[in-house]
């Protein structure tokens, strides 16, 4: 019997090559575990009917001696990542029943270049709008560590699927922290790559200047493996960049910067955990230095203007005419109003309205224009800081996983969950959350994470430091 809790992508690949088990046996073990345990967790919206067929095809390739980084390995994808012939709904009622006619670039790369078995699509906050995976039309996902608590969001299904050992790796999207925050709250590794390093073609958009696809895994090595499969330029996405776009000659100096003034309003447990992480880095030979980033505190405010503005534009296409939900009205305008009114959830409607407001005549310059100027200033300050340091270090979140229902009726409190993660999206820099320990709350050991961010194109620094910290 295969013990999924003891497998990583690396060890699974070794087992598959040795013949310790087949991809079909490994995939069956994942599906069986999902059937037994996911009823409570709700990580998956759908397990694909062709998963075992994909595994059989992988086994044939393995028999022929074909090599691929993810060959035969079960992977899950977030519900906003298109896969040809399969449903994708972005966690929303308005896209119920939509079957994708095409592959996203990342799903194509997972299968065709990586050889992965895509097991199913995972739950998410509706259109990736949320930090708890409670706004999904398909109900909330629960944290495997404590099912009374959230797994974070918006990629909470992908994080929970991995933390529960339903799969060996997964993909999410990160617009303001939607990979790194749930990674921290579920005790796994999550990476948001440099903006443009991974194609957004075939990704159901939220904020087009902020969205980025990235991997979840149990180890930094596994995250790096998935990243290397999905990255690269793509003619279907004009914003993609090559490895050489941000080529830097700066050597790795084992120097970590900490923006002390930014580290406020964290719980005492998070502060203690962060200090322990600093000491561990020092014991590994790293130099810790304080850095001053005067504008970083405005990242969250800028983000919650830019993201809703872009979301209101991107979501205008969902009108019930070409695909998804259609609600009949008395005329065309009534069709639109009834379809959108019943198809979009409360949080999605809130952000569409906010985004439309900040783009409206008379408010564009004072809100959206000002936010873009803040974005430029924050980016400049971060890039200047990376001349002296290899990575920036902060906590991933201000506290451990909160209770389901605790913040859903308080939007501002929920938005503050992104305080440490949004600077990387605002500036486009790569950022990765690492598991850094636990805090005991109500008799449960809840995971905490630390956040590493580096200069544009320097994922290599994140992987090096992450491996050192986790002892890989």
Instruction: State yes or no: is 104 an active-site residue.
Output: no
Q: Where are the beta strands (DSSP E) in 197-304?
A: 213-217, 255-258, 287-290
The single residue of 89, 107, 154, 396 carrying the catalytic annotation is 154
Q: Where are the beta strands (DSSP E) in 56-184?
A: 74-78, 117-122, 169-173
- Structure tokens of 110? 């997972």
d(CA 396, CA 436) in angstroms, rounded, equals: 10
> Any idea which residue has 């534009």 for tokens?
313
The single residue of 10, 23, 78, 453 carrying the catalytic annotation is 78
Instruction: State yes or no: is 170 an active-site residue.
Output: no
Q: For the chain, what's the residue count?
A: 472
d(CA 357, CA 337) in angstroms, rounded, equals: 18
Distance set, CA 115 to CA 25, 61, 322, 368 (Å): 16, 9, 33, 43
Cβ distance 69 to 56 under 8 Å? no
B/e letters for 336-368, b = 16+ CB within 10 Å, e = fewer, are: bebbbeebbbebbbebbebbbebbeeeeeeebb
The single residue of 107, 178, 295, 436 carrying the catalytic annotation is 178
> Any idea which residue has 């109003």 for tokens?
337
d(CA 55, CA 116) in angstroms, rounded, equals: 8
Instruction: State yes or no: is 178 an active-site residue.
Output: yes
- Burial (Cβ within 10 Å: 0-12, 13-18, ≥19) of residue 232: middle
Q: Which strands make up the sheet holding 189-192, listed edge to edge? A: 44-47, 117-122, 74-78, 169-173, 213-217, 189-192, 431-441, 444-454, 391-395, 255-258, 287-290
> What residues are annotated to the active site?
78, 154, 178
């Amino acid at each position: 019997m295969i013990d999924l809790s003891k497998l990583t992508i690396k060890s699974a690949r070794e087992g598959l090559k040795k013949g310790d088990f087949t991809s079909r046996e490994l995939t069956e073990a994942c599906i069986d575990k999902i059937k037994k345990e996911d009823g409570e967790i709700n990580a998956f919206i759908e397990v694909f009917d062709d998963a075992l067929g994909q595994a059989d095809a992988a086994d044939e390739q393995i028999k022929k001696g074909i090599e691929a980084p993810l060959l035969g390995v079960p992977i899950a994808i977030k519900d906003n990542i298109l896969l040809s012939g399969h449903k994708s709904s972005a966690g929303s009622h308005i896209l119920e029943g939509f079957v994708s006619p095409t592959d996203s670039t990342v799903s194509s790369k997972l299968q065709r270049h990586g050889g992965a078995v895509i097991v199913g699509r995972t739950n998410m906050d509706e259109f990736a709008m949320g930090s708890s995976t409670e706004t999904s039309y398909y109900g909330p996902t629960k944290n495997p560590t404590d099912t009374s608590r959230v797994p974070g969001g918006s990629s909470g299904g992908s994080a929970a699927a991995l933390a529960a050992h339903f799969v060996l790796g997964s993909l999410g999207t990160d617009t303001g922290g939607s990979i790194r925050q749930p990674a921290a709250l579920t005790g796994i590794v999550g990476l948001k790559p440099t903006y443009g390093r991974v194609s957004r073609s075939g990704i159901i958009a939220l904020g087009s200047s902020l969205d980025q696809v990235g991997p979840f895994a149990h180890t930094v090595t596994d995250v790096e493996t998935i990243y290397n499969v999905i990255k690269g330029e793509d003619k279907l996405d004009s914003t993609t960049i090559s490895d050489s776009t941000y080529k830097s000659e700066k050597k790795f100096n084992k120097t970590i910067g900490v923006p002390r003034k930014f580290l406020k309003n964290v719980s005492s447990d998070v502060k203690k955990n962060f200090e322990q992480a600093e000491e561990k880095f020092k014991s590994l030979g790293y130099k810790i230095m304080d850095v001053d980033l005067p504008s970083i505190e405005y990242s969250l405010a800028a983000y919650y203007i830019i993201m809703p503005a872009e979301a209101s534009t991107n979501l205008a296409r969902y009108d019930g005419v070409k695909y998804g939900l259609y609600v009949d009205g008395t005329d065309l305008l009534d069709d639109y109003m009834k379809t959108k009114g019943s198809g979009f959830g409360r949080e999605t409607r809130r952000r569409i309205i906010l985004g439309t407001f900040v783009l409206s005549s008379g408010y564009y310059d004072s809100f959206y224009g000002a936010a873009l100027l803040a974005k430029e200033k924050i980016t400049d300050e971060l890039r200047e800081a990376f001349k002296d340091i290899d990575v920036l270090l902060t906590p991933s979140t201000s506290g451990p996983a909160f209770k389901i229902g605790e913040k859903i009726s308080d939007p501002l409190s929920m938005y503050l969950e992104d305080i440490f993660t949004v600077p990387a999206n605002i500036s486009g820099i790569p950022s990765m959350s690492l598991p850094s320990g636990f805090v005991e709350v109500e008799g449960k050991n809840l995971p905490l994470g630390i956040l590493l961010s580096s200069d544009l194109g320097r994922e290599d620094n994140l992987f090096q430091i992450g491996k050192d910290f986790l002892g890989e």
